[in-house]
Structure 1
Amino acid sequence: MPKNPLQSVVQGDRNAYFWIKKKLNLSEYQMGALVWFSALILGIVIGACLG
């Protein structure tokens, strides 16, 4: 386990990314679109809550 907490977060994020990619059998471009779309939805939801 890395000593730096930031490394732990990055490692967990990397593991989640590859787990989702493998589970849904997606290409790199499809994963990029999925990440972009989920960030868009999250931004809209947060904007609606704050606005």
Structure 2
Amino acid sequence: MTKGPLKTFVDADRDAYFWIKKKLGLSEHQMGVLIWFSGLITGIVIGVLIGILIG
């Protein structure tokens, strides 16, 4: 039986999370901070790009 696209995406995301955690030797809290900062930076970049495109 084949997996659905959402299940495949979630599995790949989980695998990437644990790979990064293992490679960098981070704790759960440190991974949370890393994810938070990456989301913040992504949001700022998208906001700037939208501002440039609209303005």
Q: Shorter-normalised TM-score: what interval?
A: over 0.9
Larger radius of gyration: 2
Paired residue total: 51
- 1:10 aligns with 10
- 2:44 aligns with 44
Q: CA RMSD in A?
A: 1.3
Aligned partners of 1:2 and 1:8 also within 8 Å? no
- 1:35 aligns with 35
User: Please, what TM-score do these two structures have when normalized by structure 1?
Assistant: 0.95
Q: Percent identity?
A: 67
- What runs of 5+ residues in structure 2 fail to find an aligned partner? none
Q: Distance in 1 between matches of 2:48 and 2:27?
A: 32
Amino acid at match of 2:10: V
Secondary structure, counterpart of 1:30 in structure 2: helix
Deviations 1:1-41 (CA, angstroms, capped at 9, x unpaired): 85211000000000000000000000000000000000000
